[in-house]
Chains A and B, each alone.
Chain A
C-alpha cells in the first residue's frame, strides 16, 4: 500500500508538466530539481513507515515468538534492516528513475550528475533506515516509534535547520540537511556552501543565512548516521528485556 502511494507522489510533477497544467521548467536541471524536490522528505516518511516498528514490535507480546527462537538478535536486526533498506532503495531509485526518464522524454537529456545522485541516494536510504531502526529500538510501542520518527524527520529537523539558518550555524549534524545534496546535485552548478543575505525593510535589517552541504560532507554525515545509529540500536536491542510485554 505504501509503495503505490509513494509512486503516485513521484509522478505528480511529471504528469502536471506532461499535461501542460504546469509550465515546464526551462531546462533539464530545473526540471530534475523539481521532479526530485520532495524525494528526501517522502523517502524518510516511507522508511519511517517501513522500519519504524522493526525493533519495537519485539518488545510487545509478539516478541515472545521472535526472541525465543534460536536466532541471534543481531541476525534479526540486520535482516529487518536489510529488508527495509532494499524495499526503500528500490522505491527511491524508482522515483529518481522516473524523474530522469521523464526528463529525458521532455528534454532529450539527463542531468550530468545522475550517477552520483543514484549513489548518494542509496547511501541516504541506508542512513535513514539505520536512524529509524535506532528510534524503533527506543520505544516499546510500534505505533509510537513510527509517529516519533515521522515527527523528528518531518518537523523537528526542519525547525532546527530553520533556527540554525537564522543564527548562522551550519546544521551539519542533521540527516535531512545531508539529504539536500541529492537535490543540489541536479543543478547545473552546485550551490556555494554558505550564503548570507541581508534583507532590509525600513530601519530593520535581518540576515538570511543558507547552507548547502558539500557533497563529501553530506556523504560523511550519512555514513556517520548509518554507523552510529546501527551501533546504538544494536546495543539497545541486544540488552533490552521483555519486561512489560504481558
Chain B
C-alpha cells in the first residue's frame, strides 16, 4: 500500500517558501515603484525646465519690437534677440533712406553707441527700447 500523504518535512518546506516568495514579489514591486518614481522625477525636472524657459521667454523674448529715431522720425522694427546690431543698423538705414555715407551712422541706446558685432541681446537691447540712428561725430571747421 502506497502512502500519498506529504511527509512532515515537505510541508514545512512549503510553508517556509511562501513568505520568501512574498518577499520576492514585494521586492519586484518595490523595484517597479522606484523606476516609476525615477520616471516621475524626470518628468518633474522636464516640466520645471519648460516653466523656467517660458519665464525666460516672457522676461527676455527672442522676438520683439524696438523703435528707432532719425531726424525726428520714429519707425518700429521687428527684431530677434540673436540678430547682430549691424543687421538692425542696415535695416534702419534702408528704412530711413536713401542715406548715403552709411558708414558714418550708428545705433545708440541712451548715450551709448552699440557695437555692430554684438547681438541685440549682448548689447542689452530689450523690448520696446528706443534706439537712435545718429552720426557718431558732428563737427565742422574752416
On whether the two chains bind one another, the answer is no
**Which residue numbers of A lie inside 8 Å of B, CB to CB?**
none
